[in-house]
């Protein structure tokens, strides 16, 4: 079963998140998620991309106030009722809207920490910032969309190939799921979690912020994990994707353990694959023979992916080991199944959910 593994909100953009058992979906995203942001005095947003030390600041919600704690154990309580009533010009990634400015004592607290004149801003009760391409969907101070979905299996796939130790919180997701195949989320269009229906809008293009250790705020060597992601999650424009941006159709509650119901699917985005073989742990080449055609494969990717890379198409739909459309007969060799139903007793296998162990021969199931 595909289900929610973790839920996280980030009350202040670029600072540490808060793990939840339950999250409430409201206008703009989960309640309290990215409702506050550090800015220049003119309203231009500031993030940990420029000031990684922001990642060290812990946040907590106490009696409807936001507590921020510095690494030296100094802290401040932020009361939203004390913010300015006036609507002040604000900008995030070229998106212009208005927000409210914190009292002087709060701004001085963050200015002293960053050694720079900054302000803390609150999005306000009436959101006037809208989601890109969806003018009826409000968003808080998130980069572009209210929700970010991460698949734990996709993260594990990346981690196995990356030479540096990773933490899934480097990717700052709101909903982390388990039980799906790696990158199954690429083919989802709409899903239901709890009583909330989410539409998946686009893959999330990643930036340098993912390269910082979430505890030390020190950048990992060699621009990791972007360097490794670039080998297999880079599109024709050079954008590197990981995770899925979402909007919600309705308000409601999401809880850890909630089942993920895929309501609608869509074709997955195509990515360039240029993985240096010597960097993949346990990499072994193999030969895949399909209907008298031989291709050079490996023991790292699913059979379906490898056939498609050689312009050999098989019927498929779910790419998650459910629909059975990509079934073939395994004539010779052995495979590693990714799901319990991927291999049947008569040696029919689902190519979307099986990885070659070595040389294999397959043919269309009759």
Q: How do residues 132-163 score in pLDDT, each as one tens digit? A: 789 899 999 999 999 999 999 999 999 988 99
Residue 135, class by beta-carbon neighbours within 10 Å (0-12 exposed, 13-18 middle, 19+ buried)? exposed
Say yes or no to pLDDT of 279 above 70. Answer: no
> C-alpha dihedral over 90, 91, 95, 100, to 10 degrees?
-30
Nearest to 32 by CA among 44, 47, 19, 45: 19
Residue 42, class by beta-carbon neighbours within 10 Å (0-12 exposed, 13-18 middle, 19+ buried)? exposed
Q: 39-48, 58-67, 309-318 — which is least confidently predicted?
A: 309-318
Q: How far apart are CA 360 and CA 24, in angstroms?
A: 49
Say if residues 45 and 32 touch (Cβ distance below 8 Å). Answer: no
Q: How far apart are CA 66 and CA 293, in angstroms?
A: 62
Say yes or no to pLDDT of 288 above 90. Answer: yes
- Alpha helix ranges (H) inside 116-200: 152-161
Amino acid 274: pLDDT: 76
Amino acid 80: pLDDT: 97
Say yes or no to pLDDT of 242 above 90. Answer: yes
Say if residues 246 and 198 touch (Cβ distance below 8 Å). Answer: yes
Q: Residue holding tokens 């799906």? A: 180
Say if residues 364 and 329 touch (Cβ distance below 8 Å). Answer: yes
Q: Chain-wide mean pLDDT for the chain? A: 93
**How would residue 355 be classed by pLDDT, with cut points 50, 70 and 90?**
very high
Say yes or no to pLDDT of 5 above 90. Answer: yes
Mean pLDDT over 57-62 rounds to 97
- Alpha helix ranges (H) inside the chain: 104-114, 152-161, 226-230, 303-309
**How would residue 105 be classed by pLDDT, with cut points 50, 70 and 90?**
very high
Amino acid 78: pLDDT: 98
Amino acid 300: pLDDT: 84
Say yes or no to pLDDT of 283 above 90. Answer: no
Say if residues 177 and 159 touch (Cβ distance below 8 Å). Answer: no
Amino acid 305: pLDDT: 86
Say yes or no to pLDDT of 74 above 60. Answer: yes
Tell me how far the alpha carbon of residue 236 is from its chain's centroid.
20
Question: Domain locations in the chain?
Answer: 3-265, 284-364
Q: 32-41, 142-151, 195-204, 287-296 — which is least confidently predicted?
A: 287-296
Please state, in angstroms and as integers, the Cα–Cα distance from residue 134 to each residue in 138, 199, 281, following that order: 8, 11, 42
Say yes or no to pLDDT of 120 above 90. Answer: yes
Q: Residue holding tokens 């689902």? A: 350
Say if residues 224 and 218 touch (Cβ distance below 8 Å). Answer: no
Amino acid 137: pLDDT: 94
Say yes or no to pLDDT of 264 above 70. Answer: yes
Amino acid 277: pLDDT: 61
Mean pLDDT over 205-225 rounds to 94
CATH architecture of the domain 284-364 equals Roll (3.10)
Q: How far apart are CA 207 and CA 338, in angstroms?
A: 30
Say if residues 331 and 363 touch (Cβ distance below 8 Å). Answer: yes
Amino acid 91: pLDDT: 95
Q: Within 10 A of 350 (CB to CB), how many other CB atoms are there? A: 29
Choices 2.40.33.20, 3.40.50.300, 3.40.1390.10, 3.30.505.10: CATH for 3-265: 2.40.33.20
Percent of the chain with pLDDT over 90: 79
Q: Residue holding tokens 């379906």? A: 304
The pLDDT tens digits of the residues spanning 316-339 come to 877 778 788 899 999 999 999 988
Amino acid 280: pLDDT: 62
Please tell me which residue, 291 or 359, carries the higher pLDDT value.
359
Per-residue buried b or exposed e for 151-179, using 16+ beta carbons within 10 Å of the residue's own CB: bbbbbebbeebbeeebebbbbbbbbbbbb
Amino acid 208: pLDDT: 93
Q: Kindly report the length of the chain.
A: 366
Task: Using only the alpha carbons of the chain, give its radius of gyration.
Answer: 23
Q: 14-23, 193-202, 321-330 — which is least confidently predicted?
A: 321-330
Q: Strand pairing of 147-151 and 175-178?
A: parallel
């Amino acid at each position: 079963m595909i289900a929610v593994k973790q839920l996280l909100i980030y009350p202040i953009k670029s600072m540490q998140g808060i793990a939840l058992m339950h999250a409430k979906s409201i206008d703009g995203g989960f309640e309290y998620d990215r409702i506050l942001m550090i800015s220049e005095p003119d309203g231009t947003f500031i993030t940990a991309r420029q000031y990684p030390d922001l990642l060290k600041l812990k946040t907590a919600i106490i009696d409807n106030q936001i507590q921020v704690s510095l690494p030296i154990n100094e802290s401040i309580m932020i009361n939203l009722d004390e913010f300015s009533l006036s609507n002040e010009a604000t900008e995030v990634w070229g998106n212009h809207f208005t927000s409210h400015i914190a009292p002087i004592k709060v701004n001085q607290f963050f200015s002293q920490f960053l050694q720079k004149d900054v302000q803390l801003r609150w999005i306000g009760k009436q959101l006037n910032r809208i989601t890109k391409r969806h003018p009826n969907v409000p968003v808080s101070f998130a980069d572009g969309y209210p929700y970010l979905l991460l698949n734990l299996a996709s993260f594990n796939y990346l981690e196995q190939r990356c030479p540096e130790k990773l933490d899934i919180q480097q990717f700052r997701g709101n909903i982390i799921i388990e039980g799906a195949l790696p990158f199954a989320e690429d083919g989802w269009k709409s899903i239901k979690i709890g009583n909330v229906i989410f539409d998946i809008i686009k893959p999330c293009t990643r930036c340098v912020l993912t390269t910082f250790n979430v505890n030390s705020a020190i950048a990992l060597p060699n621009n990791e994990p972007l360097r490794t992601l670039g080998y297999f999650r880079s599109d024709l424009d050079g954008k590197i994707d990981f995770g899925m941006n979402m909007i919600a159709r309705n308000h409601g509650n999401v809880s850890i353990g909630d089942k993920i119901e895929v309501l609608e699917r869509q074709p997955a985005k195509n990515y360039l694959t240029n993985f240096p073989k010597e960097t993949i742990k346990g990499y072994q080449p193999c030969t895949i023979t399909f209907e008298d055609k031989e291709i050079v494969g490996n023991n790292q990717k699913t059979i379906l992916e490898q056939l498609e890379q050689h312009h050999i198409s098989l019927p498929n739909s779910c790419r998650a080991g459910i629909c059975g459309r990509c079934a073939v007969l395994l004539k010779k060799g052995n495979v590693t199944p990714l799901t319990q139903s991927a291999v049947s007793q008569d040696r029919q296998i689902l190519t979307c959910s099986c990885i070659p162990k070595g040389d294999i021969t397959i043919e269309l199931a009759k």
